[in-house]
Structure 1
Amino acid sequence: MTAPDSPVELESQFAQWRRYVQRRRELAQPDADELEDHLRGSVDALVAAGLSTDEAFLVAVKRMGSLDELSREFAREHSERLWKQLVLTGSGTVDARSRRDLRALVLCAVGAAVSVRVPELFGVSLEHDGAFYGPNVGVLVLPWLAGFLAWRRQVRRPLLGVLVALFMLGAVAANVYPLAETSQSVVLTSIHLPIALWLVVGLAYAGDEWCSPRRRMDFIRFTGEWFVYFVLLALGGGVLIAFTAGTFKAIGIDPEVFLAQWLLPCGAAAGVVVAAWLVEAKQNVVENIAPVLTRLFTPLFTAVLLAFLVAVVWTSSGIDVEREALILFDLLLVVVLGLLLYSISARDPLAPAGPFDRLQLALVVSALAIDVLVLLEITGRITEFGTTPNKAAALGENILLLANLAWSAWLLLGLARRRTPFAALERWQTGYLPVYAAWAWIVVLAFPPLFGHV
């Protein structure tokens, strides 16, 4: 057995501290090396003064101060890094890897843009055939995103075969059933198939480490950062479309058909891949936006949910569980889950429980209470009027959210009371992702025949 004060044990402590430091992307590698040299010097001095290596390490880390403060200090001293990250390269030269990435980006972005127009060759109109494009949009675009990420990760052939098979399964599920345009299953497939295929993209992102909770959490972070970049691209694209429409109309040319049927759909499809490339290449620039928004909106959503629960008790009103209301409540619960996920993704795992953790507990408990009310209403309507695809899907989704939120509340309570480690909450959330994927595939594959393609 290794002695507590052995050099091996000390190096293990340094390695753990180094991994912790590297989570802070405000600190470049030279900064981390500088901090480690300073820490090692402090430990050596304390050991020479008579402390044990364990004591010396703890005292030196304590003297170094808060890593948050150190990160902010380095960010202030090296603020020019932010601007250098906003361009392709900092030196004006492009290395071989960057050129390969750009070529792969262009290929996949063009492939995604072209894919949304290919059905036109077979008589399918983007303008009139929403029943086709709704279920198939993920099948047309997301394989290119997965391909780009798989290429960057250099995934092995077995996993590549799995990715191809899952996307082919999605294509079959979107097109094999004889569904009318007014079918509820068209809407359900349009919602659930992109979710299922996005988690297939997660397989490409994580590569051979999908079973690792750390890599799953990385994919959750990637999703938030991708969303931020995609929204920014969409805002820029909206300005481009507005200027294009205005300038061409000024000379008597109406570009509406080109904008609506070509620029907008092709640009949006290409933007899905470009946003992922931006996350991969420039994630240090805006990677903290999602956690910052989480900090801002968590108290606001908590107040709204608590006010809603008070109103329900005060008025004794039931909840409308028609389709639009079901979608609204499910989106609300998903937003709550997103707030929880992104606060977890940015939280210092070694930090003690604080007021924000208790605020999150209140948010999750409020959402849990609303979920119970919705489930009671759905169950009552199904018992009284029978089931429909929409109600069955909502019932299953709310049961899944109920299980997730209930155990999350229990873990947050343990965290707030300092009886449960933060890692348990992180493992629970990342481990639950396959459950959502499985349910999405069930809705896509089993619901249409189960409900007679209604």
Structure 2
Amino acid sequence: MTDDRGDLDAQFAQWRHYVQRRRELRQADVDELEDHLRGSVDDLLAAGLHADEAFLVAVKRMGSLDELSREFAREHSERLWKQLVLTGGPDGPAPGGRSRRDLWVMVACAVGAAASVKAPELFGLTLEDDAAFYVPNVGLLVLPWLAGFLAWRRRAATGLVGVLVALFALGAVAANAYPLAEDSQSLVLTGIHLPIALWFVVGLAYVSDDVRSSRRRMDFVRFTGEWFIYYVLIALGGGVLIGFTFGTFQAIGISPETVVSQWVLPCGAAAAAVVAGWLVEAKQSVVENIAPVLTRLFTPLFTAVLLAFLVTLGVTSSGIDVEREALILFDLLLVVVLGLLLYSFSARDPLAPPGGFDKLQLALVVSALVIDVLVLLEITGRITEFGTTPNKAAALGENVILLANLAWTAWLMLSLIRRRAPFTALERWQTAYLPVYAVWAWVVVLLFPPLFAYL
């Protein structure tokens, strides 16, 4: 009986973990649902069912969790509408004072990000003429403000704030201490990898309320996807606004090109990074439900593209071009595939049994794994024959890191489909692997330039 009770508690914890992702449900709503579920399980246990059977039957009687979420949204429509204005907090509408403070802190951080982008002009630097400065420093000008907003919202401890400041300072040293020419490969690598490294610093600010929690790390994965969606939406809206601005001012004989290119675009792009983060925090589930739709739409499309590429490669017997542009393209493709998988995992019901979509995801992972191996073989061959360069060394390391993740992910997904491992094992693997990407990005930024004589 003690073992059964322990299994039940584990199942309740897993169920609650999933329900808490439905952000339209307040903490009180989750407690109410769990109390109802526990009562139903107790009744079934008293009727003679085993613990596992009682739990599954009780969950089934409650209906699907998506249906429950929609029902709560209908019954609490006022709360859902408030998510479209100034509400916030993962446990439901925040008090008015906290909402207003969030808004004003966000505005201050957004203004700070916009001002930071223009600040170098005080020292004679411009976007048009000083790419060698802006390429490695763009993340440093914007992301500290987003991290600051998240750290303030999470009430991060003083020690952790010190770590965040130290990491951004380290990034500033890496971006500006090395003598990198405008045409150097190390400059491009720093421009690509430093924002990635700094984004994980933003992630540290995001999980500052529970740094070791696997669930909070997966929440950051979901935050990243939702932040990207909001940023793209803001960019599209800004593009429409700029188009109307050009049209209306040119109609009266005035060209706004200088104002738009030198002020509106750079300042708006910087401020939008903070605004998008605030929207994810404040609007809660307004975008969250897009995750399952996007993953179910793009997973089969990416799977088809990768399979078509492999078939074409086998038929034509063509080699893979491993020049710089091709390396960036293949690595970007593999990163997008991995991001798609992570975003899908963040939206998956951990209690759901494996199905056809899981098999499709396994096919996507295996296809990406095969492409990764082929690219690695080509890179290794080129390095052996012609020697290494910063680009090839970075691509080699990144593909090895992706290979390890994709290989174990494929094994865990196969185990999930064969019902030999729970979904939580897959989730824990992905969240535990996130620091590996951060460490590698810092290695490229800090060690590669001097290692390759700033080439």
Q: TM-score, length-normalised on structure 2? A: 0.92
Residues 24 and 80, structure 2, Cα contact 8 Å, conserved in 1: no
Residues 86 and 100, structure 2, Cα contact 8 Å, conserved in 1: no
Q: Which moved more, 1:438-447 or 1:203-212?
A: 203-212
Q: 1:312 to 1:148 in 2, by over 3 A?
A: same
* In the alignment, structure 1 residue 64 sits paired with structure 2 residue 57: no
Q: How does 1:17-28 map to 2 (within 5 A)?
A: 17-28=15-26
Instruction: Give me the whole-angstrom Cα distance separating, in 1, the residues matched to 2:272 and 2:427.
Output: 30
* In the alignment, structure 1 residue 433 sits paired with structure 2 residue 434: yes
The number of residue pairs the alignment matches comes to 451
Q: 1:395 to 1:424 in 2, by over 3 A?
A: same
**Partner SS state of residue 117, structure 1:** helix
AA partner of residue 214 (structure 1):
R
Residues 22 and 285, structure 2, Cα contact 8 Å, conserved in 1: no
Instruction: Give me the whole-angstrom Cα distance separating, in 2, the residues matched to 1:159 and 1:282.
Output: 26
Instruction: Give me the whole-angstrom Cα distance separating, in 2, the residues matched to 1:433 and 1:41.
Output: 39
- Which residue pairs with 1:288 in the alignment? 289
AA partner of residue 25 (structure 1):
R
Instruction: Give me the whole-angstrom Cα distance separating, in 2, the residues matched to 1:153 and 1:223.
Output: 17
Instruction: Give me the whole-angstrom Cα distance separating, in 2, the residues matched to 1:47 and 1:375.
Output: 55
Note the alpha carbon deviations across 1:371-412, whole angstroms, 9 max, x for none.
111111111111111111111111111111111111111111
* In the alignment, structure 1 residue 201 sits paired with structure 2 residue 202: yes
AA partner of residue 198 (structure 1):
W
Q: 1:186 to 1:25 in 2, by over 3 A?
A: same
- Which residue pairs with 1:237 in the alignment? 238
Q: 1:239 to 1:214 in 2, by over 3 A?
A: same
Residues 4 and 54, structure 1, Cα contact 8 Å, conserved in 2: no
**Sequence identity (%):** 79
- Which residue pairs with 2:400 in the alignment? 399
Note the alpha carbon deviations across 1:221-266, whole angstroms, 9 max, x for none.
1100100111111111111111111111111211111100111000
Instruction: Give me the whole-angstrom Cα distance separating, in 1, the residues matched to 2:375 and 2:204.
Output: 33
Note the alpha carbon deviations across 1:111-132, whole angstroms, 9 max, x for none.
0000001100111111211111
Instruction: Give me the whole-angstrom Cα distance separating, in 1, the residues matched to 2:268 and 2:26.
Output: 34
Q: 1:10 to 1:328 in 2, by over 3 A?
A: closer
The Cα shift of 1:170 comes to 0.4
- Which residue pairs with 2:273 in the alignment? 272
Q: 1:59 to 1:357 in 2, by over 3 A?
A: closer
Q: 1:251 to 1:355 in 2, by over 3 A?
A: same
Residues 14 and 350, structure 2, Cα contact 8 Å, conserved in 1: no
Residues 159 and 208, structure 1, Cα contact 8 Å, conserved in 2: no
AA partner of residue 227 (structure 1):
F
Q: 1:426 to 1:44 in 2, by over 3 A?
A: closer
AA partner of residue 122 (structure 1):
F
- Which residue pairs with 1:88 in the alignment? 86
- Which residue pairs with 1:314 in the alignment? 315
- Which residue pairs with 2:102 in the alignment? 101
Residues 405 and 433, structure 2, Cα contact 8 Å, conserved in 1: yes
Note the alpha carbon deviations across 1:15-46, whole angstroms, 9 max, x for none.
66444432333444564455345445545655
Residues 151 and 161, structure 2, Cα contact 8 Å, conserved in 1: yes
Q: 1:382 to 1:71 in 2, by over 3 A?
A: same
Instruction: Give me the whole-angstrom Cα distance separating, in 1, the residues matched to 2:140 and 2:300.
Output: 37
AA partner of residue 412 (structure 2):
L
Instruction: Give me the whole-angstrom Cα distance separating, in 1, the residues matched to 2:144 and 2:285.
Output: 26
Note the alpha carbon deviations across 1:136-168, whole angstroms, 9 max, x for none.
000111111111111111111111111111100
**Partner SS state of residue 207, structure 1:** coil
The Cα shift of 1:289 comes to 1.7
Q: TM-score, length-normalised on structure 1? A: 0.92
Q: How does 1:15-414 map to 2 (within 5 A)?
A: 17-29=15-27, 31-36=29-34, 38-39=36-37, 42-43=40-41, 46=44, 59-75=57-73, 81-89=79-87, 95-414=96-415
Instruction: Give me the whole-angstrom Cα distance separating, in 1, the residues matched to 2:60 and 2:95.
Output: 42
AA partner of residue 207 (structure 1):
S
Instruction: Give me the whole-angstrom Cα distance separating, in 2, the residues matched to 1:70 and 1:195.
Output: 37
Instruction: Give me the whole-angstrom Cα distance separating, in 2, the residues matched to 1:132 and 1:52.
Output: 66
- Unmatched 5+ stretches in structure 2: none
Instruction: Give me the whole-angstrom Cα distance separating, in 2, the residues matched to 1:187 and 1:268.
Output: 21
Q: 1:13 to 1:133 in 2, by over 3 A?
A: closer
Residues 137 and 175, structure 2, Cα contact 8 Å, conserved in 1: yes
Runs of 4+ in structure 1 off by over 6 angstroms are: 8-13, 50-55
- Which residue pairs with 2:422 in the alignment? 421
Residues 228 and 290, structure 1, Cα contact 8 Å, conserved in 2: no
CA RMSD of aligned residues (A): 2.5
Residues 226 and 279, structure 1, Cα contact 8 Å, conserved in 2: yes
Instruction: Give me the whole-angstrom Cα distance separating, in 1, the residues matched to 2:42 and 2:322.
Output: 66
Instruction: Give me the whole-angstrom Cα distance separating, in 2, the residues matched to 1:93 and 1:154.
Output: 15
Residues 189 and 444, structure 2, Cα contact 8 Å, conserved in 1: yes
Note the alpha carbon deviations across 1:180-210, whole angstroms, 9 max, x for none.
1111111111000000000001111100522
